[in-house]
Amino acid sequence: MTRIDDTFARLKSQGKKAFVSYIMAGDPDVATALAVMKGLPAAGVDIIELGLPFTDPMADGPTIQLAGQRALEGGMTVDATLQMVRDFRAADQKTPIVLMGYYNPIYSRGVDRFLAEAKEVGIDGLIVVDLPPEEDAELCIPAQKAGLNFIRLATPTTDAKRLPKVLQNTSGFVYYVSVTGITGSAAAQAGEVGPEVARIKRSTELPVIVGFGINTPEAARTIAGVADGCVVGSAIVKEVGAGKPAADVLAFVADLAKGAHSA
């Protein structure tokens, strides 16, 4: 049982949906990003997705691409990202952290070294968007053996033939991408998402969390209402990118969390 598993078990016993938030490590600088990260649990965030900055984020829209560029220009590295998690864990041993990004920085560091370090600092799961199930031996299976959840994305184009392959080594939760395309590109629609979530849940006992295209408390409520919870990323990153102080970003997050938890 990981922190992620424990969190979903607790939420289920309480009859609550999960609210997951995404921020980019080191955006716009380490101090601000860490202040926001430390405040997320009190703002109602159940699981934190922490972006690992990368130079070629092909699945991300302009908002998150710019966040990654700001972080990299500020000197953010894999080491600094791991240290950010370590600093967060000094005061919070409960909130799950999922590191989200691309395989290149992990491969460059060395899979075994990276997984050992990730486990040591307190990372609970990975979302690596450019590693398909056919490459599970690269990272997915080693990550599971190291005690980390490996969370896979399902999309509107994941058909009945493909879905079992996507689910076969997934753990923690399934991340359903509500729209085709990049992050921040369109609004999620509960009427379209609901049947897809139900289809996935017929094939797995894992929670299904919906992300992409959620940017208001009402959207968080309606999408969480047809799933086990929702993820908000670009809308939060946009607040950071606008130069707002951590307290204002966290107030925005708290409103989103209330929406999700009211589902």
Q: What DSSP designation does 31 have?
A: H
Q: What percent of the chain has pLDDT over 70?
A: 97
Q: Please give the pLDDT value at position 114.
A: 98
Question: CA-CA distance, 119 to 98, in Å (whole number)?
Answer: 11
Cβ proximity of 178 and 211 under 8 Å: yes
Q: Please give the pLDDT value at position 94.
A: 98
The tens digit of pLDDT for each residue in 175-189 reads 999 876 656 556 778
Question: CA-CA distance, 241 to 67, in Å (whole number)?
Answer: 7
Q: What DSSP designation does 60 have?
A: -
Average pLDDT of the segment spanning 182-208: 86
Cβ proximity of 238 and 217 under 8 Å: no
Average pLDDT of the segment spanning 4-23: 97
* Element spanning 89, H or E: helix 78-89
Q: Is residue 61 very low, low, confident or very high in pLDDT (cuts 50, 70, 90)?
A: confident
**Residue with tokens 């049982």, as numbered in its chain:** 1
Q: What DSSP designation does 263 have?
A: -
Domains of the chain: 3-261 (3.20.20.70)
Q: Which residues are catalytic?
A: 49, 60
Q: Please give the pLDDT value at position 180.
A: 66
